[in-house]
Amino acid sequence: MRFCFEPRPQPSVAVADDESLYPVDRIFCIGRNYAAHAAEMGNTVDRTAPFFFTKSPCHLAKQGDPLPYPPGTSDYHHEVELVVALGKPLFRAEPSSVADALFGYAVGLDMTRRDLQAQAKDKRRPWDAGKDVENSAIIGPLTRAKDWHALQDSSIRLDVNGVTRQHAPLTEMVWTVEELVAFLSSLYHLKPGDLIMTGTPAGVGPVGAGDALRASIDGLPTLEVRIGDAE
């Protein structure tokens, strides 16, 4: 069997200190997982269950990729997030069994056309135009779970042009990594290749062409990117 056109390359994320790449199948993104960010968006956290949306794996980007300012928006926002990668299959799991199934962690940016997301919220329409943006899942190298145990002590941070915009301890997350993965496993047969962006702290805001973004989490490789001109 041959394809009728050349398929895209397999989407992937780098692995720190390793030549291999982590192939990506799905990207789940958690909403409203930091109370202060929910408040700045005019929302409250729903503590009965997390909620999520997805991004297309082909919209992954990494440090060094061209990141043109996307079409259709005049309010393109940064959201710095802890990213979790699955390393084993998981279905209907309890939070206590999640840690053993994690491949690793990275810092990521859930870039968002905030104006289109706001329109979608107003009209009760899906968020795809706001969230599933080309090059909008920018993810740094994955650190293997066995090599990073700092989640309880680490802070997450985003600087734009050297000025800190977002900075919070990871302990501000409303739902823990284990709770988020267990929740998703109640809806999906999770497996290696699944990434979860775990939500952003307060301080989201717009970026423009030429802005330099530096996203970091203590103990994980830093992600540094620059927004390009509009196409």
Residues in the site for Mn ion, rule: CB under 5 A? 79, 110, 200
Nearer to Mn ion, 79 or 194 (CB): 79
Q: Where are the alpha helices (DSSP H) in the chain?
A: 35-40, 114-123, 128-131, 177-185
Cα 24 to Cα 83: distance, rounded to the nearest angstrom: 12
Least distance to Mn ion, CB of residue 228, Å = 21
Q: Which amino acid is it at 115?
A: D
Nearer to Mn ion, 97 or 127 (CB): 127
Least distance to Mn ion, CB of residue 198, Å = 9
Cα 59 to Cα 11: distance, rounded to the nearest angstrom: 8
- Planar angle of CA 220, 194, 69, nearest 5 degrees: 70
CB burial of residue 41 (10 Å; 0-12, 13-18, 19+): middle
Nearer to Mn ion, 21 or 120 (CB): 120
Nearer to Mn ion, 101 or 133 (CB): 133
Residue nearest to Mn ion (CB): 110
Least distance to Mn ion, CB of residue 110, Å = 4
Least distance to Mn ion, CB of residue 4, Å = 36
